[in-house]
Structure 1
Amino acid sequence: MARYQISDADLTFAREFMDTPIGYHSPGLQRVLNRMRGSDWNFKYVLIVVERYSRWQLGRMPAERGARVEPVEGAFYSDLLDAERDIFKRRWKDLTGQNLDTLLTPES
């Protein structure tokens, strides 16, 4: 039962997140993030610390409390900001079915 539905009108906020994934977010971007981080998921993306401050792996945390986090094969990051951007793109695709990289590519 989703409240707010992400649409193409929210691409401005996606660009904002890609520019600054951590820190202050505008009210519009915060609305998008609240939807993405809501409770109506079968799982949530999380970052697993592989090496403190230098290496992370993408994981999927199931909705069931106490269940094990499932690492995503081949999804490792050496930059925390890149990891946050990737999770945002994955959530966008899960919610809209659209590839955010394609949508944000500057038109020629």
Structure 2
Amino acid sequence: MSSLTLSQKSDDQFTLSGELTRYSVADKTLVQQLLASSSTKVALDLNDVSHVDTAGLAWLLDSLSQLHKQGKELRLQHIPEQLQKLMQLGQVDKIFE
């Protein structure tokens, strides 16, 4: 089982650490932490993400959708190369710009 942690650095700045995979994204509290931000622009630093799979990408897309429903933006920072490739393959690489 892989682990994933979401740390809040400020109201609008979060850091994701660990493996962003089908095993770790089942934790619904991660999205709730992002949604709880009172900021309209949420930044998610992915510098400490060590592994990503398609479920991790789907989690990011779902998080983006849920934030948009609340009128918020999600900006990704320090996107790992593995995730960049998945985003390009899925033709969703422009969504987070």
Q: Same fold (TM over 0.5)?
A: no
For the pair shown, which has the larger CA radius of gyration, 1 or 2? 1
Structure (1 or 2) with the greater helix fraction:
1
Structure (1 or 2) with the greater strand fraction:
2
Q: Larger relative CO (CA 8 A, sep 6+): 1 or 2? A: 2
TM-score by length of 2: 0.31
TM-score by length of 1: 0.29
